[in-house]
Structure 1
């Protein structure tokens, strides 16, 4: 089942942290989680993350407004997150 309130956010500037990500999307509605994915060994950002909204409507507004928006000169990729394919 697809979770339409969880968004993938790609091409993030590497300095962006969880709190920064939440602040970027806060104007679109209540956020239940914002997570920047980091390398487990170095702790450095991998340049993408996920934002989970309380409602699908707020998530849809965020996709509409934030996809391709430039942040620190980088155009963001924002879309509904897809579940990871099971590993073989």
Structure 2
């Protein structure tokens, strides 16, 4: 299981998050997803900690806390939902031939 951290500053790094979450236990992994096209962070992250008790302590302390000018949204990460491909094959779905 891991912790979802939302409403992150785009300046937040994996090291920054690791440092903050270490106050609540052992951090096993931090992932800050980036946009495929721009390479910029997407404004959220996932933090995996050693135990559920440590995750719960971090969630309790950090959800709603102000950090780097933003009010964090911190909760248990939900399993990723499989997304269906968009209709139209990437051409806007209007089925026109060019």
How many residues in Structure 1 have an aligned counterpart in Structure 2? 84
User: Which blocks of at least 5 consecutive residues in structure 2 are unaligned?
Assistant: 85-98
1:69 to 2:55 alignment: no
Report the equivalent of 1:78. Answer: 74
Give me the CA root mean square deviation: 0.9
Report the equivalent of 1:46. Answer: 42
1:59 to 2:59 alignment: no
State how far apart, in whole Å, the 2-side matches of 1:52 and 1:14 are. Answer: 20
TM value normalised by structure 1: 0.90
Higher-RCO chain (CA-CA 8 Å, sequence separation at least 6): 1
**1:21–1:36: 8 Å Cα contact kept in structure 2?**
no
| Partner SS, residue 38 of structure 1 | coil
Report the equivalent of 2:13. Answer: 17
| Partner SS, residue 27 of structure 1 | helix
State how far apart, in whole Å, the 1-side matches of 2:70 and 2:46 are. Answer: 17
State how far apart, in whole Å, the 2-side matches of 1:40 and 1:21 are. Answer: 21
User: Which blocks of at least 5 consecutive residues in structure 1 are unaligned?
Assistant: none
Larger-gyration structure (1/2): 2
